[in-house]
Structure 1
Amino acid sequence: MKKAHIFDQRRTGILLHITSLPSGNLGSDAYRFVDFLQASGVTVWQVLPLGPTHSDGSPYQCLSAHAGNNKLICLDSIRGKAWANPAEMTGKKIITIMAHAFRQFSQSASADEQQAFQQFCQHNQYWLDDYVLFRELRHLNHATAWYDWPDELRDRDKSALYEFSLQRREALMVRKFEQFMFYEQWSSLKQYANDRGVKLFGDMPIFVAHDSADVWAVPELFTLDETGQPETVAGVPPDYFSETGQRWGNPLYRWQKHEDEKFQWWQQRLTSQLLLFDLIRIDHFRGFEACWEIPAHCLTAVDGEWKKAPGEALFSNLLAHFGELPLVAEDLGIITEEVTALREQFALPGMNILQFAFGGDATNPYLPHQHRPDSVTYTGTHDNDTTLGWYESLDQATQLHLHSYLARVLKRCHGC
């Protein structure tokens, strides 16, 4: 199968999330970083997931698989709009400032800007309506999870949601406007980067958070009971790093339901991600071949079991829908021949991690001489220490191995 066009050219990149910029938002620092990448000959900028996070701040357990994190919005850029009155954009919370901005936008924005907002709402209705309802309900329920809301809201009673939508119409429009501003700022940054030869590289977790707009909107697609509680959850089995494995707690997919709906949920999810990024890493790719299913009542991952997933059917569907798949498979962990075959069948590059390479023998698959052409090589991932921190933590024998290996590589290069 032919690989996506973006992989025709060999590239170098940097992983730096938006929150690691000095301002931590999509303002001028982000554009200066693009300039730095261009000047350095770097053509890929990878970030972590951009969704709104829970209170722990983890971008891998977001409140939505589609929405942008409002904390990444550059408020100074909004204050600089022709329709804006900065003096009236007051408040400590972003949502309060955005409420003032939305009123000014509604009163003073041009007809073209108003139309752009309406088109954004229409084009993204498949996720936006549920998302703003979810966020407003969650706010009024003191940030409690949706499965702890009153039954009629938890279970999405149509009359209750309709009445709530009427009562909170302006607040819901503010939240839609907030997403419009995020997508507008990200689109401008992406265009600026692409014009300078820099591709934006996203990150898409395989699973979504239990407490998310995605699960609340279509609970039938997940392994939940009638009260919204999970029956089974995701994780990984015991290994070298943990005797009890990892219990992530995300509800698993009812794959038969997804297949029955011709994977529409996945098409929509990838559609929103491809609006944001030129290529996307899929976290925990092996879960598309088989995932570790843990009974929800278990406190650890020990009692889980591998359950097959319809990866071939899913990616065949996505390939037919999108034409090509600019995806990178995070194929770390317990990787079987079946997982590798699935990745290769759809021409998806895998991953190499240099921090895993040293301290063993010459058969270590992460040593550079073992790397495959169809792969992306990282010094480390978002789970790893910095390269300097990693190096300083190595024992003397591993440092000597590293020095010896790199010396041979450099000698070979100088001899070319």
Structure 2
Amino acid sequence: MKLKRSSGILLHITSLPGKFGIGDLGPEAHKFLDFLKRSGHKYWQILPLNPTDGIYHHSPYSSHSAFAGNPMLISPSLLEEDGYIDLEDFPAPSGLHEGKVVFDTVETYKHLLFEAAFSTFKSWKGVNPGYEEFLLNHASWLDNYCLYLALRHRYKNANWVEWPAALRDRNPAALEQAEEELRDTIEKEKFVQYLFFSQWGRLMKEAHNRGIKIFGDVPFYINHDSADCWTNPELFKLNEDKNPTHVSGVPPDMFSKTGQLWGTPVYDWEELERREYAWWIDRLRQNLLLFDVVRIDHFRAFAAYWEVPAGEKTAIHGKWKKTPGIDFFRVVKQHFPKMPFIAEDLGVLDEPVYELLDAYNFPGMKVLQFAFGDPNRGNPYIPYNHSFNSIIYTGTHDNNTTLGWYREAGKEVKEHVRDYLGRKISEEEIPEVFHRMALQSVGGIAIIPLQDIIGLGGEAIMNTPGSTKGNWSWRVRSSEIPMERSHKLFKLNELYGRVDLHEERS
């Protein structure tokens, strides 16, 4: 990917304001595009758009599908606008929170809307060309995904390995019978996916009309309890009963004596290589339908990944396994010559990872919160070590906000910040100072979480790794989006060379 000096804002769709309990693809998303345009930003970075589940605490990095869209992001306002529902018949439920997603309440409400919308859709006479085209274009994953959802519902959300053996093992006769018996449920799920992709397409079109590019995210691993693993078990290290023989994680380090045990199945890279990585190519192609630029999460696993025997309680007894990353991206480049990918290269890396980054000139990430308190002049995150082929962040969705980080920082970190800036600094100044520091960097793109632009503290954390409580639920209030500061933000982007000289504010 060839970078051009520019900037963007990090804000997931669920964190948008709105009256339906969760950010969605409707009017508030389109208003945010206006804010990005007016403030001189070229990128809107979001998190994965795949379906989430309460079993996994609604993490967008733990999904039942690597291809499907998240129904919770479908806009009720647009459903009404398109004639599917009348919102007077579906008042927003009590218990919703303006500043936080209450997932269970939202999920129940949205499912009511989908049932009503599907009923309306079925009542319309004639063929819907857009719907038929969607079914045709997405059949390679859609048919299996919707059957998976229907079966999962039938078996009360049990993992697919607990289904009757004929369905678990995808016996053709059993699948055909299930498709017939569950026809209505399958059709409804296809319709819901059609709604998501239709609404997302409208948002993408509006973004491009404003000169905004969408910066998305692809997790590395796939859940065992997923349509992908059920449909393609041979691509993962599974036993005869289709349970994982080995699972994912990361080794012990200075932050964790036992490492991290993620528990998702690991890929059978030999089988993937034999198939010329077709499943991964399809996955990347699907994400490039949704995003202009794709950040690849846990990029280091394309050089080597940490494999832990299934059944272990920690990640201690794992081992490194090589991944054919050079060959993999050779094939990827054949399909996607422009290589619009960003590497999530945070953490401790080794020479094979650097070789892979260099081989394909992948832009990496630099996070300013990691720059201070470390006396090592080789710290890659300190601004004087930045390079143009980098994406500069004040913090990411896995960090505290910059204000929250500074409040919790030790004396050594605060002294380093003060010395680096050459002056004393108050807590309240920190978000803007780091914002400016990111814009000043020689890094090609500067991405600032919205929380840092508006100066929020630790109450606005999106995710705390290693914790399962309260994550992914933060929402910005409509009154907090600083439309009145868009001129100042534009001037900052202009001052630090992140706006084209000929560009005019609309």
Q: Secondary structure at the match of 1:98?
A: helix
Displacement of 1:85 in angstroms is 5.3
CA contact (8 A) 1:292 1:305 kept: yes
Q: What SS does the corresponding residue of 1:235 show, helix, strand or coil?
A: strand
Q: Give the aligned residue type for 2:278.
A: Q
Match of 1:63 in 2: 64
How many residue pairs match? The answer is 406
Corresponding residue number in structure 2 for 1:274: 288
- Name the structure 2 match of 1:384: 399
Query: Which residue does the alignment assign to 1:41?
Result: 40
Match of 2:478 in 1: none
Q: Residue type matched to 1:49 in 2?
A: P
Q: CA deviation at 1:83?
A: 5.8
Which whole-Å CA distance do the structure 2 matches of 1:110 and 1:350 have between them?
Answer: 50
Determine helix, strand or coil for the equivalent of 1:49. coil
User: Which residue type is aligned with residue 8 of structure 2?
Assistant: G
Match of 1:176, SS state, is helix
Indicate if the aligned counterparts of 1:88 and 1:100 stay in contact, CA closer than 8 A: no
Q: Which residue of structure 1 aligns with residue 271 of structure 2?
A: 257
- What stretches of structure 1 of length at least 5 have no aligned partner? none
The one-letter code matched in structure 1 to 2:45 is Q
Which residue matches 2:312? 298
The amino acid that maps onto 1:370 is N
Deviation at residue 81 of structure 1 after TM alignment: 1.1
Name the residue aligned to 1:185.
199
Give the equivalent residue in structure 2 for 1:115. Answer: 129
Q: CA separation in 1, counterparts of 2:347 and 2:340?
A: 22
SS in 2 for 1:61: coil
Match of 1:25 in 2: 24
What is the distance in 1 between the residues matched to 2:251 and 2:397?
21
RMSD between aligned residues = 2.1
- Cα contact 1:85–1:104 (8 A) shared by 2: no
Q: How does 1:356-395 map to 2 (within 5 A)?
A: 356-361=370-375, 362-395=377-410
Counterpart-to-counterpart distance in 1, 2:84 and 2:254: 58
Partner in structure 2 of residue 51 of structure 1: 50
Counterparts of 2:313 and 2:194 in 1: how far apart (Å)?
40
Once the two structures are TM-superposed, the CA of residue 397 in structure 1 deviates from its matched residue by 2.6
Query: Match for 2:195: what amino acid?
Result: M
Asked if the contact 2:3/2:389 (under 8 Å) is kept, the reply is no
Relative to the length of structure 2, the TM-score reads 0.77
1:11 counterpart residue number:
6
Measured after TM superposition, the shift of residue 137 of structure 1 is: 0.8
> Which deviates further from its counterpart, 44-53 or 394-403?
394-403
Amino acid of the structure 2 residue aligned with 1:67: A
Is 1:282–1:328's contact at 8 Å kept on the other side of the alignment? yes
Query: 8 Å contact 1:89–1:100 — kept in the other structure?
Result: no
Moved more, 147-156 or 84-93: 84-93
Compute the displacement of 1:267 (Å). 1.1
* SS across alignment from 1:301: coil
Q: What displacement does 1:315 show?
A: 0.7
* Alignment-derived partner of residue 208 in structure 1: 222
Cα distance between partner residues in 1 of 2:219 and 2:387: 24
Q: Scaled by the length of structure 1, what TM-score is found?
A: 0.93
Question: What is the distance in 2 between the residues matched to 1:221 and 1:202?
Answer: 25
- 1:94 and 2:95 matched: no
1:407 to partner: Cα distance: 3.4
Cα 1:407–1:110 change in 2 (3 A) is farther
Aligned partner of residue 348 in structure 1, secondary structure: coil
Runs of 4+ off more than 3 Å: 82-93, 407-411
Given residue 35 of structure 2, which amino acid in structure 1 is its aligned partner? F
Distance across 1 between alignment mates of 2:89 and 2:232: 39
**Letter in structure 2 aligned against 1:217:** T
Match of 1:103 among 119, 122, 125: 119
SS at match of 1:12: strand
What letter matches 1:302 in structure 2?
Answer: I
CA distance in 2, matches of 1:364, 1:46: 25
Correspondence for 1:77: 78
CA contact (8 A) 2:76 2:87 kept: no
Structure 2 residue aligned with 1:170: 184
Distance 1:50 1:336, change over 3 A: same
Question: Could you say which residue in structure 2 is the equivalent of 1:310?
Answer: 324
Deviations 1:366-401 (A, max 9, x none): 101111211111111221111110011112231121
Deviations 1:27-53 (CA, angstroms, capped at 9, x unpaired):
111111111111111111111111111
Could you tell which deviates more after superposition, 76-85 or 249-258?
A: 76-85
For 1:342, the equivalent position in structure 2 comes to 356
What amino acid maps onto 2:382 in structure 1?
L
Deviation per CA, 1:109-166: give whole Å up to 9, x if none.
775xx11101111111111011101111111111111112221221112111111111
- Quick one: distance in 2 between partners of 1:89 and 1:173? 23
Aligned equivalents of 1:301, 1:293: Cα separation in 2? 8
Q: Which moved more, 1:329-338 or 1:241-250?
A: 329-338
1:352 aligns with 2:351: no
Aligned-partner Cα distance in 2 for 1:31–1:76: 12
- Residues 110/275 of structure 1: CA separation in 2 closer, same or farther (3 Å cut): farther
The residue identity in structure 2 corresponding to 1:406 is L
Asked if the contact 1:353–1:377 (Cα under 8 Å) also holds between the matched residues in 2, the reply is yes
The equivalent of 2:299 in structure 1 is 285
In the superposition, relative to structure 1, how do residues 360 and 109 fare at CA in structure 2: closer, same or farther (>3 Å)?
Answer: farther
